[in-house]
Structure 1
């Protein structure tokens, strides 16, 4: 079975080589859809043999569906530039290419913080469909939290091995994500959902307790604490911004 690997990028020169090199043992082609990077992303990808297409970013769901549509082969493996295949996952995909017993495949994603793999705080197993027959499924979702959704009746198997994700290097990157995602959440849900200050407090407290205690973030020391606080901050700010957006709407209607 021929396999196309697809990646969407924007200023990914620090990680794109590692991502592409991990794909070479299993991909029959590598397609990069770049959102007009201002660094060396396109040059590095091209030098490694990837076919690079430029397209303005239109949201993660739309951009990833566009990338899958550029593939020559119907069997598609989609990665972000800050991800790469572990040796065990590479072996699983190689075996799957020889048989292809299902329409889509999930595998676990192992997220890292500061170079440390984190299996607590709800960060693992983080199982996702990233390998599938594009005739049987596509990316769906809002501006963020996009997922591959398979058609009814499609068969999905799970593959051994981890997809390595090394985006978060420091607390600043966690904070940046909190701000970005909370802005988008408030934008998407303003006028659709209501929230109170009391509910914000309860949801924020529960998010920290669940991450740090129930999901054993305390066992990961400093990293577990920072991630748990970040998870709680994400809840706090997305609902705070939603509440403020709804208040602004009500004022404008008066």
Structure 2
């Protein structure tokens, strides 16, 4: 049976980290937590468990997660954020796969909780994530803050695990608004650094399409008031991202 490392990055996750750790203790053979010097009780909670706790100044989402992978003892990993946990079904799926690992990595669906409601539609479910993989064959890539695991081989073999990654997102609309401002700023800076452009039409078409796709095509309206709020915010963060990108180019001119 192969051995697994559970790898987590954290910053001020006292609200959720215990659920994350408890979902891993009977599944993996070590837990590595890379923390960005949390100012709440995250460290104290983590040290209640048998974890390798490493403090590292935040490098960026992608860079921090790749740093965390490097700290894992074993090549096969389960990678989670501090506000995520494995459902009981997914825990069993991962335990089973330890005895007959067949692929370079495995997807699982992510099930998101927003303001106390599990969101079943819009772009939020099934929110497929590659989180169980051989770290010698993969790395975190993407454009901050939209990170993703990318396998090195174009024709890598990927399996799918039963069960969900449970994700606790925002408890209030105000919290979501604050994060929308924060993430749109990071995304605009990442786009700017990569030379992506922001023509004027993108300020209107891209947010409209993001909302329409999530609310109508992905049936976000079936999640009621919270579904509308999520889809509205999807359009808003798209607008803010391109608006801030345009301003960066104006400042540079």
For normalisation by structure 1, the TM-score amounts to: 0.94
Q: Which runs of 4+ in 1 moved over 6 A?
A: none
Output the CA distance in 2 between the equivalents of 1:142 and 1:224: 26
For normalisation by structure 2, the TM-score amounts to: 0.94
Output the CA distance in 1 between the equivalents of 2:188 and 2:99: 45
The corresponding residue for 1:55 is: 56
User: Pairwise mapping of residues 95-110 of structure 1 onto structure 2 (< 5 A)?
Assistant: 95-110=96-111
CA RMSD in angstroms comes to 1.4
Q: Deviations over 1:88-135 (max 9, x none)?
A: 111110110111111211111011111211121111111111111111
User: Pairwise mapping of residues 1-254 of structure 1 onto structure 2 (< 5 A)?
Assistant: 1-152=2-153, 153-190=155-192, 192-250=195-253
Please list every run of 5 or more consecutive structure 2 residues that lacks an aligned counterpart in the other structure. none
Between Structure 1 and Structure 2, whose CA radius of gyration is higher? 1
Q: 3-state DSSP class of the match of 1:208?
A: helix
Q: Deviations over 1:211-252 (max 9, x none)?
A: 2111111111111111011001011111111122222222xx
Q: Which moved more, 1:139-148 or 1:19-28?
A: 139-148
Output the CA distance in 1 between the equivalents of 2:71 and 2:202: 44
Does the 8 Å contact 2:143/2:187 carry over to 1?
Answer: no
Q: 3-state DSSP class of the match of 1:99?
A: coil
- 1:39 Cα deviation from its structure 2 partner: 1.5
When the two structures are aligned, how many residues end up with a matched partner? Answer: 250
Q: 3-state DSSP class of the match of 1:146?
A: strand
Output the CA distance in 2 between the equivalents of 1:7 and 1:108: 18
Does the 8 Å contact 2:11/2:42 carry over to 1?
Answer: yes
